[in-house]
Structure 1
Protein backbone atom coordinates (compact mmCIF):
# COMPACT_ATOMS: atom_id res chain seq x y z
CA UNK A 1 0.00 0.00 0.00
CA UNK A 2 1.42 3.45 -0.88
CA UNK A 3 2.47 5.61 2.04
CA UNK A 4 0.69 8.92 2.72
CA UNK A 5 2.61 12.08 1.83
CA UNK A 6 4.08 13.94 4.81
CA UNK A 7 4.76 17.24 3.04
CA UNK A 8 4.49 20.62 4.74
CA UNK A 9 1.20 21.37 2.94
CA UNK A 10 -0.54 18.07 3.70
CA UNK A 11 -4.22 18.30 4.58
CA UNK A 12 -4.61 21.88 3.35
CA UNK A 13 -6.82 21.43 0.29
CA UNK A 14 -9.49 23.79 1.64
CA UNK A 15 -7.29 25.99 3.83
CA UNK A 16 -4.88 27.06 1.08
CA UNK A 17 -7.40 27.31 -1.76
CA UNK A 18 -8.24 30.78 -3.02
CA UNK A 19 -11.64 31.95 -4.13
CA UNK A 20 -12.08 32.35 -7.88
CA UNK A 21 -11.86 36.16 -7.84
CA UNK A 22 -8.73 36.19 -5.65
CA UNK A 23 -6.59 34.21 -8.09
CA UNK A 24 -3.84 35.73 -10.20
CA UNK A 25 -1.05 38.16 -9.46
CA UNK A 26 -1.07 39.87 -6.07
CA UNK A 27 -0.95 43.66 -5.67
CA UNK A 28 2.58 45.03 -5.23
CA UNK A 29 1.53 46.97 -2.13
CA UNK A 30 1.07 43.72 -0.21
CA UNK A 31 4.71 42.72 -0.68
CA UNK A 32 6.16 46.13 0.29
CA UNK A 33 3.95 46.57 3.34
CA UNK A 34 5.79 47.84 6.45
CA UNK A 35 5.14 46.86 10.07
CA UNK A 36 6.59 48.33 13.26
CA UNK A 37 7.72 46.45 16.36
CA UNK A 38 4.87 45.48 18.71
CA UNK A 39 2.29 45.74 15.88
CA UNK A 40 -0.44 43.10 16.07
CA UNK A 41 -0.84 41.18 12.80
CA UNK A 42 -3.06 38.39 11.48
CA UNK A 43 -1.35 35.52 9.67
CA UNK A 44 -3.34 34.92 6.48
CA UNK A 45 -1.41 32.59 4.18
CA UNK A 46 -1.32 33.50 0.49
CA UNK A 47 -0.84 30.15 -1.22
CA UNK A 48 0.39 31.77 -4.45
CA UNK A 49 3.62 32.79 -2.68
CA UNK A 50 5.58 29.89 -1.25
CA UNK A 51 8.53 31.98 -0.03
CA UNK A 52 8.29 32.98 3.62
CA UNK A 53 5.10 30.97 4.13
CA UNK A 54 4.47 29.87 7.73
CA UNK A 55 3.19 26.40 8.58
CA UNK A 56 -0.54 26.05 7.80
CA UNK A 57 -1.29 25.43 11.50
CA UNK A 58 -0.73 29.18 12.05
CA UNK A 59 -3.21 30.30 9.36
CA UNK A 60 -5.73 32.68 10.94
CA UNK A 61 -3.70 33.26 14.12
CA UNK A 62 -2.84 36.69 15.49
CA UNK A 63 0.65 37.54 16.67
CA UNK A 64 2.96 40.37 17.60
CA UNK A 65 5.84 41.64 15.42
CA UNK A 66 9.14 41.36 17.28
CA UNK A 67 11.63 42.51 14.64
CA UNK A 68 12.36 42.81 10.95
CA UNK A 69 14.74 40.22 9.51
CA UNK A 70 15.72 40.92 5.90
CA UNK A 71 12.49 41.27 3.93
CA UNK A 72 10.55 39.21 6.48
CA UNK A 73 9.28 39.80 10.01
CA UNK A 74 9.66 37.74 13.16
CA UNK A 75 6.18 37.24 14.62
CA UNK A 76 5.48 35.79 18.08
CA UNK A 77 2.41 33.55 18.20
CA UNK A 78 0.86 31.56 21.04
CA UNK A 79 0.42 27.91 20.10
CA UNK A 80 -1.04 25.64 22.81
CA UNK A 81 0.40 27.68 25.73
CA UNK A 82 3.80 27.96 24.00
CA UNK A 83 5.21 31.16 22.54
CA UNK A 84 6.60 30.48 19.08
CA UNK A 85 8.60 32.75 16.80
CA UNK A 86 7.81 32.59 13.09
CA UNK A 87 9.70 34.24 10.26
CA UNK A 88 7.00 35.40 7.84
CA UNK A 89 7.10 37.57 4.76
CA UNK A 90 4.66 40.51 4.57
CA UNK A 91 2.53 38.88 1.84
CA UNK A 92 1.20 36.53 4.52
CA UNK A 93 0.55 39.22 7.13
CA UNK A 94 -2.41 41.56 7.57
CA UNK A 95 -2.49 44.44 10.07
CA UNK A 96 -5.00 44.18 12.91
CA UNK A 97 -7.57 46.98 12.90
CA UNK A 98 -8.10 49.04 16.01
Structure 2
Protein backbone atom coordinates (compact mmCIF):
# COMPACT_ATOMS: atom_id res chain seq x y z
CA UNK A 1 0.00 0.00 0.00
CA UNK A 2 1.33 3.43 -0.95
CA UNK A 3 0.82 6.49 1.24
CA UNK A 4 -1.13 9.41 -0.17
CA UNK A 5 0.86 12.57 -0.82
CA UNK A 6 -1.93 14.96 -1.68
CA UNK A 7 -2.17 18.74 -1.49
CA UNK A 8 -3.02 18.77 2.22
CA UNK A 9 -0.81 15.91 3.42
CA UNK A 10 1.02 16.41 6.76
CA UNK A 11 -1.19 19.36 7.71
CA UNK A 12 -3.26 17.80 10.51
CA UNK A 13 -1.93 20.22 13.12
CA UNK A 14 -1.11 23.19 10.89
CA UNK A 15 -4.61 23.57 9.43
CA UNK A 16 -6.56 23.15 12.68
CA UNK A 17 -9.00 25.77 13.86
CA UNK A 18 -9.98 26.35 17.46
CA UNK A 19 -13.65 25.73 18.20
CA UNK A 20 -15.75 28.79 18.91
CA UNK A 21 -19.42 29.50 19.19
CA UNK A 22 -21.21 31.15 16.29
CA UNK A 23 -20.33 31.08 12.62
CA UNK A 24 -17.16 29.34 11.62
CA UNK A 25 -16.97 31.32 8.35
CA UNK A 26 -17.96 34.93 8.93
CA UNK A 27 -19.04 36.66 5.73
CA UNK A 28 -16.80 39.64 6.50
CA UNK A 29 -13.72 37.53 5.73
CA UNK A 30 -15.09 36.80 2.27
CA UNK A 31 -16.00 40.38 1.34
CA UNK A 32 -12.91 42.14 2.71
CA UNK A 33 -10.95 44.10 0.14
CA UNK A 34 -7.31 45.03 -0.16
CA UNK A 35 -5.38 47.63 -2.11
CA UNK A 36 -2.23 47.14 -4.18
CA UNK A 37 0.94 47.27 -2.00
CA UNK A 38 -0.94 46.21 1.18
CA UNK A 39 0.98 43.83 3.43
CA UNK A 40 -1.08 40.74 4.26
CA UNK A 41 -0.62 37.58 6.31
CA UNK A 42 -1.51 34.29 4.65
CA UNK A 43 -3.60 32.41 7.22
CA UNK A 44 -5.34 29.44 5.58
CA UNK A 45 -8.95 28.79 6.55
CA UNK A 46 -9.18 24.98 6.35
CA UNK A 47 -12.97 24.96 6.05
CA UNK A 48 -12.83 26.78 2.69
CA UNK A 49 -10.97 24.73 0.09
CA UNK A 50 -11.36 27.13 -2.80
CA UNK A 51 -8.54 29.60 -3.33
CA UNK A 52 -6.21 28.07 -0.76
CA UNK A 53 -2.49 28.54 -1.25
CA UNK A 54 -0.19 25.61 -0.59
CA UNK A 55 0.15 24.86 3.15
CA UNK A 56 3.90 25.65 3.02
CA UNK A 57 2.93 29.34 2.73
CA UNK A 58 0.69 29.30 5.85
CA UNK A 59 1.83 32.05 8.23
CA UNK A 60 3.92 33.93 5.66
CA UNK A 61 3.58 37.64 4.98
CA UNK A 62 3.37 39.00 1.46
CA UNK A 63 2.43 42.04 -0.59
CA UNK A 64 -0.66 42.45 -2.78
CA UNK A 65 0.44 42.94 -6.39
CA UNK A 66 -2.77 42.60 -8.41
CA UNK A 67 -6.42 41.62 -8.28
CA UNK A 68 -7.55 38.67 -10.40
CA UNK A 69 -11.31 38.20 -10.35
CA UNK A 70 -12.31 37.64 -6.72
CA UNK A 71 -8.75 36.63 -5.81
CA UNK A 72 -5.58 38.58 -5.14
CA UNK A 73 -2.08 38.03 -6.45
CA UNK A 74 0.30 38.02 -3.48
CA UNK A 75 4.06 38.04 -3.88
CA UNK A 76 6.25 36.53 -1.17
CA UNK A 77 9.95 35.89 -0.75
CA UNK A 78 10.67 32.13 -0.65
CA UNK A 79 14.38 31.71 -0.07
CA UNK A 80 16.01 33.82 -2.79
CA UNK A 81 13.05 33.76 -5.17
CA UNK A 82 9.95 35.91 -5.37
CA UNK A 83 6.83 33.78 -5.78
CA UNK A 84 3.37 34.85 -6.83
CA UNK A 85 0.37 33.20 -5.20
CA UNK A 86 -3.25 33.54 -6.25
CA UNK A 87 -5.23 33.59 -3.01
CA UNK A 88 -8.84 34.31 -2.14
CA UNK A 89 -9.51 36.92 0.57
CA UNK A 90 -10.79 34.31 3.08
CA UNK A 91 -7.17 33.20 3.53
CA UNK A 92 -5.69 36.69 3.94
CA UNK A 93 -5.44 39.07 6.90
CA UNK A 94 -4.30 42.67 6.73
CA UNK A 95 -1.10 43.38 8.66
CA UNK A 96 -1.60 46.15 11.18
Above 0.5 in TM-score?
yes
Counterpart position of 1:44: 43
| TM-score (structure 2 length as normaliser) | 0.95
Unaligned runs of 5+ in 2: none
Cα distance, 1:20 vs structure 2: 1.6
Following TM superposition, the consecutive aligned residue runs of length 4 or more in structure 1 with deviations greater than 4 angstroms are: none
Local SS of the residue matching 1:9 = coil
| TM-score (structure 1 length as normaliser) | 0.93
Cα distance, 1:25 vs structure 2: 3.4
- What is the correspondence of 1:39-78 to structure 2 with a 5 Å cutoff? 39-78=38-77
Local SS of the residue matching 2:20 = helix
Cα distance, 1:6 vs structure 2: 1.1
Cα distance, 1:14 vs structure 2: 0.1
Counterpart position of 1:89: 88
Corresponding pairs, count? 96
Root-mean-square deviation (CA), in Å? 1.3
Cα distance, 1:76 vs structure 2: 0.0
Local SS of the residue matching 2:5 = coil
Local SS of the residue matching 2:75 = strand
Cα distance, 1:23 vs structure 2: 8.1
